[in-house]
Amino acid sequence: MDTLTALHQRFSANHFAADRPVSAEVLEQLIDAARQAPSAFNLQQARFFAVQDLSARQALRAVAYNQAKVEEAPLVIVVLGDLQAHEHFADITHADQIAGIYDQALGDYFVQAAQSTYSNPDRAHDEAIRSGALAAMNLMNAATALGLVTGPMIGFDQAKFKEMFKISDRYLPVIMITIGYNAPGNWPKKTRLPIEKLLVRDGRPNQDHTFSTR
Ligand SMILES: Cc1cc2nc3c(=O)[nH]c(=O)nc-3n(C[C@H](O)[C@H](O)[C@H](O)COP(=O)(O)O)c2cc1C
C-alpha cells in the first residue's frame, strides 16, 4: 500500500479481531517503521513498550480507565520518550560519523548543542513528546499498510502505568496504541476540517494572518 493510501485509510479502531494475534515479525516491522521517524538532532528519544500477554493487557486496561480495547487488542504499544537522550547522544553521533555522514567536529558540535538545549527539562519534555508523536504516527501508518488497525489513546493514568510496569522516570509516556486486525463495529474514519480552514497559503512577514473559524 502506498503512503497516501495508508494515510487516508487509517482510522481509530475500538474493536479488534479476537482470534488474530499480531506476529513477532509484524511487531518488528512496526518498530522498524516507527524508528524511521525524524527527531531533533537525530536524538531518537522514542521507545516502544509492547504489552501482549492477556493478563498484562487486563492490568493495563485497569490503568486505562477500563477502556475495553486495551484488553481486546492483541498488541498494545506504549510509546515512551527518553528525557535523557541528550546525555547518551555521543553514541549516535559516533554511529553517524562511522557511517560517513558527518565528521567528528560536527558530531562534537551536535553533542554540545543538544546537551545545552535539553538540559532544560521543559525542552527535553517537549522534544520527547514531539519525537514520540512522530514515531507513533509512523507506526500507525505502517500498521495500516500492513493490514492492521490501530487506536491511539492518551486516556490512561500515566503515573499508574509507570508504577505498574516499573518504568523509570527517565521515560515519559507519550501515547498508547492498541493494535490488531479489524473487527465489526468500528466507526469509519471521522470527518476532517476543510483545507480552507487549516491552511495559510502564502504567509508573509508583517501581515495579519487568520484562520477561518466558520
Ligand atoms: C493524542 C490522542 C489521544 C487519544 N486518546 C483516546 C482515548 O484515550 N480513547 C479513545 O477511545 N480514543 C482516543 N483517541 C482517538 C481519537 O478520538 C481519534 O483519533 C479521533 O476521534 C479521530 O478519529 P479517526 O482517527 O478515526 O478519524 C486519541 C487520539 C489521539 C491523537
Question: pLDDT per residue over 100-136, tens digit each?
Answer: 999 999 999 999 999 999 999 999 999 999 999 999 9
Residue 212 lies in a domain: no
**What pTM was estimated for this model as a whole?**
0.97
CATH number for the domain that contains residue 19? 3.40.109.10
Nearest CA owner, ligand 1 atom 13: 153
Residue 209 lies in a domain: no
Q: DSSP string of 177-205?
A: EEEE-B-TTPPPPPP---HHHH--SS--T
Is the minimum distance from the CB of 12 to ligand 1 under 6 angstroms? yes
The reported pLDDT for the residue numbered 104 is 97
Domain that holds residue 61: 3-198
Residue 171 lies in a domain: yes
Residue 206 lies in a domain: no
pLDDT at 212 over 90: no
Q: How many domains does one find in the chain?
A: 1
Beta bridge partners, 179, equal 75, 150
The reported pLDDT for the residue numbered 83 is 98
Residue 214 lies in a domain: no
Is the minimum distance from the CB of 11 to ligand 1 under 6 angstroms? yes
Task: Provide mean pLDDT across the span 64-72.
Answer: 98
